[in-house]
Amino acid sequence: MAVRTRVQSQMHGDSSDYDYSSFYYSSSDDVFAILEPYTEWYDDAQLRGYYLYGQPMSSRPTTRIELQEKLEQRRLNLLNLSSYNYLGLSYRPEVIEAAKRALDRYGMGAAGSPVLSGTMDVHIELERELAAFKNKPACMLFPTGYSTNVGLIQGLMRPGDLIVADQNSHASIVDGAILSKAEVRFFRHNRPEELEKKLKGWDGKKMVVVEGVYSMDGDVCKLPEIVAIAKKHEARIMIDEAHSTFIYGENGRGVAEAFGLEDEIDIHVGTLSKALGGQGGFVAGSASLYKYLEGFARSRLFSCALSPVVSGGVLEALRIAGREPGLRARLWANVAHIRRLMREEGIDVGESTSQVIPVMIRNDRRIFDVAHRLQRAGLYLQPIVYPAVAKHRSRFRISVSATHTTDQLNEGVSILAHVLREEGIL
Ligand SMILES: Cc1ncc(COP(=O)(O)O)c(C=O)c1O
């Protein structure tokens, strides 16, 4: 079969002019026709250094990591400013011990859906402690943060309903909304007045979806204004606090706590994969919401329950985060320090005010050259390009951890500033 795609007919040899959007469609009627040109692009991009993803780590995700560099097959020791491990809990000895105890007791997997044979007492204990932490009547575990949003939104919303979500919503929110077949509208990022325009005139059921801290820009949701507008239009409100749970608020309950708005929000989502250093996600809310989702959230219903090993480790991580508020304080001191250094260097961090700090490059091709130089200079920062962010909004994303030392933060910013200067970006 002749394999021709729209891309091939336009390709002029330089893989860096193409990205994922060039490979959605092919003009052939064979489903596999897209694979060959995509592979050609992928291999060429990798060879030329424009594909830097999936480089395997051979160490724990601490502040220094061992990385197997793909292009030249070298093992690198790098300063890590790219991990979600905001509190350093994934490798805390007590967490590892708790996970080992769970492994000994339950074995590796749950071996069943949570509604059939997969629920173990460690899941119930974790759900209870998460509900108590979030100050909510109930909390439901999901296998990942991604499947939490997908299952929750698809489980609750129906054709004929309206979902209004921030334009910068995580893919899991977008995918859940699409799957629900409800009407989906996106409002301009963090612009409450735009939210109002999208809600106006809709008679049926509505839900507003926002994030506490936006995962790619590190800015905080304008929650007070958003809540006021949602209430005025009688819409339910869901907040995804993937990057703000255990980080924001006096007790670490997130941005909703920080704004004193927890009771105004109907559904609270969080992940166990970021500050707690594990895996999984949760929905905290009413007992009736729990019961309904048990029957209707298909990403949970038709998927194996969270591993009991991870659940045991996460339970310990949750307890540590609760009894050691100093971890959060250290994280915020580190955030203040690195922000000051970056400001002094004149590095463009966009709108970030959190521990997620973008280094705006805004050039989808040059960012890979910069990434290579950073890596060679000893700094691990991942280039983030379309489709994770809009085209021409490429950036590196710094994730600060409570476990970075001041010297490491100094070293990281010094490498970054040096490379950006050499590249003519600063
Ligand atoms: C806002 C947001 N929600 C959900 C997720 C998905 O979480 P997980 O990686 O635990 O599946 C992410 C992941 O980065 C996220 O940033």
Q: Residue 348: what pLDDT?
A: 93
User: pTM of the full predicted structure?
Assistant: 0.95
Predicted confidence (pLDDT) per residue in 363-418, tens digit: 988 898 999 999 999 999 989 998 889 889 999 999 999 999 999 999 999 999 99
> What is the average pLDDT value for the chain, to the nearest integer?
94
Compute the residue count for the chain: 426
Pocket test of ligand 1: the residue of 271, 314, 382 to mutate, having most ligand atoms within 8 Å of its CB, is: 271
Spatial neighbors of 146 by CB under 8 A, at least 6 apart, are 171, 172, 175, 281
Predicted confidence (pLDDT) per residue in 16-74, tens digit: 677 888 898 888 999 999 999 999 988 888 888 778 888 899 999 999 999 998 777 88
Residue nearest to atom 7 of ligand 1 (CA): 145
The Å distance, Cα 268 to ligand 1 centre, comes to 14
Specify the ligand 1 atom closest to the Cα of 271.
10
Q: How confident is the model at residue 5 (pLDDT cuts 50, 70, 90)?
A: very low
The Å distance, Cα 145 to ligand 1 centre, comes to 5
Q: Residue 21: what pLDDT?
A: 84
- pLDDT above 50: residue 104: yes
Q: Round to whole Å and give the CA distance between 350 and 332.
A: 18
The Å distance, Cα 12 to ligand 1 centre, comes to 36
Specify the ligand 1 atom closest to the Cα of 172.
4
How much of the chain is helix, strand and coil, in % rounded to 5? 45, 15, 40
Predicted confidence (pLDDT) per residue in 131-187, tens digit: 999 999 999 999 999 999 999 999 999 999 999 999 999 999 999 999 999 999 999
For residues 106-128, average pLDDT: 98
Q: What is the DSSP string of 43-80?
A: HHHHHTT-----PPB-S-SSSEEEEEETTTTEEEEEEE
Question: How many Cα atoms within 13 Å fall on the side-chain side of residue 386?
Answer: 16
Q: Residue 11: what pLDDT?
A: 53
- pLDDT above 60: residue 344: yes
Q: How confident is the model at residue 12 (pLDDT cuts 50, 70, 90)?
A: low
Q: Round to whole Å and give the CA distance between 76 and 52.
A: 14
The domains of the chain, with CATH numbers, are 6-38 (no CATH), 64-80+325-422 (3.90.1150.10), 92-323 (3.40.640.10)
The Å distance, Cα 349 to ligand 1 centre, comes to 21
The Å distance, Cα 152 to ligand 1 centre, comes to 14
Pocket test of ligand 1: the residue of 85, 170, 238, 255 to mutate, having most ligand atoms within 8 Å of its CB, is: 170
Omega of the bond leading into 192 within 30 degrees of 0 (cis): no
Share of the chain above pLDDT 90, in %: 85
Alpha helices, DSSP H, located in 297-399: 298-301, 308-323, 325-345, 366-376
| 170 pocket-lining for ligand 1 (C-beta < 6 Å) | yes
**β-bridge pairing 206-211 and 162-166:** parallel
The Å distance, Cα 226 to ligand 1 centre, comes to 21
Q: Name the packing angle between helices 121-134 and 308-323 (round to 10°).
A: 30
Q: Residue 13: what pLDDT?
A: 57
- pLDDT above 70: residue 1: no
Specify the ligand 1 atom closest to the Cα of 279.
10
| 242 pocket-lining for ligand 1 (C-beta < 6 Å) | yes
Answer whether 212's CB lies under 8 Å from 255's CB. Answer: yes
Specify the ligand 1 atom closest to the Cα of 273.
10
In this structure, which amino acid lies at residue 33? Answer: A
249: left (phi > 0), else alpha (psi -120 to 50), else beta?
A: left
The Å distance, Cα 41 to ligand 1 centre, comes to 28
- Dihedral, 271, 274, 277, 281 alpha carbons, nearest 10: 10
Residue nearest to atom 16 of ligand 1 (CA): 215
- Three-state secondary structure call for residue 369: helix
For residues 90-94, average pLDDT: 97
Pocket test of ligand 1: the residue of 273, 283, 382 to mutate, having most ligand atoms within 8 Å of its CB, is: 273
